[in-house]
Amino acid sequence: MLFGIAWDTSSGWAFAISILPILLRGLVVTIQATVVGFFIALVVGLVWAALKAAPLRIVSWPAAIVTEFLRDTPLLIQLFFLYYVLPEYGIVLPAFMTGALALGLQYSAYTSEVYRAGIEAVPRGQHEAARALNLKGMRTFTHIVLPQAVPRIIPAMGNYLVSIMKDVPLLSVVTVLEMLNVARIIGDRTFNYLIPLSMVGGIYLIMTLIASAGVRFLDMRLPKRGIPLK
């Protein structure tokens, strides 16, 4: 029994039905970690992209070094650092937020490159037209460049969304009860790993298919042409 839920191990189907509620609780944690981590990756990645595009090297170089570090070091090391090292300096975060932050920071290094590619794909004529209309640099970036870059990077961002979702099980090392960790605990207590792990694999397959379909829908719906300047 886990979280007050009894498991019927008399048959395969009965066992699967009895553990489904607790797996769904783990699924909620998995989805929450995916959403929070992806949101952090999107926001911080855009910040890294803007800093690396800055004309001043004193701004662009540190951002490039940090993103390279995040990209070239394992997620587990970053996760352990946030969870075990930061408390030594008085910074204590809940296990869930630690995991989501680690996911977001790791993938922000990748999304920053996606943003960069999307921004560079915007025709230079759009920048020149904005300057001709005397638009400030920030307004040009937020109202002209970014709206045209985002539709171009939807497929790549969708791939990272799926990747973050599949990396959530790593959060089990800092005691986050996401879906795979719950399945492992069920297996430890019932000595039946096949059914819970198979169910988790099936649920992950369904989630990735739904996420991929959503990304394709957005990719087809969002316009990719330049926007007229008025």
Domain assignments of the chain as residue spans, ordered by start: 12-221
pLDDT of residue 227: 46
pLDDT tens digits, residue range 73-127? 999 999 999 999 999 998 999 999 999 999 999 999 999 999 988 888 777 776 6
What is the Cα–Cα distance from 115 to 108, expressed in whole angstroms? 10
Say if residue 64's pLDDT is above 70: yes
51 within 8 A of 59, measured Cβ to Cβ:
yes
When pLDDT is cut at 50, 70 and 90, the band that residue 10 belongs to is low
Classify residue 95 as exposed, middle or buried by CB count within 10 Å of its CB (0-12, 13-18, 19+).
Answer: middle
Q: Which CATH number fits domain 12-221: 1.10.3720.10, 3.40.80.10, 2.10.109.10, 1.10.10.10?
A: 1.10.3720.10
Percentage with pLDDT > 70 across the chain: 88
Percentage with pLDDT > 90 across the chain: 56
State the residue for tokens 């539709």: 151
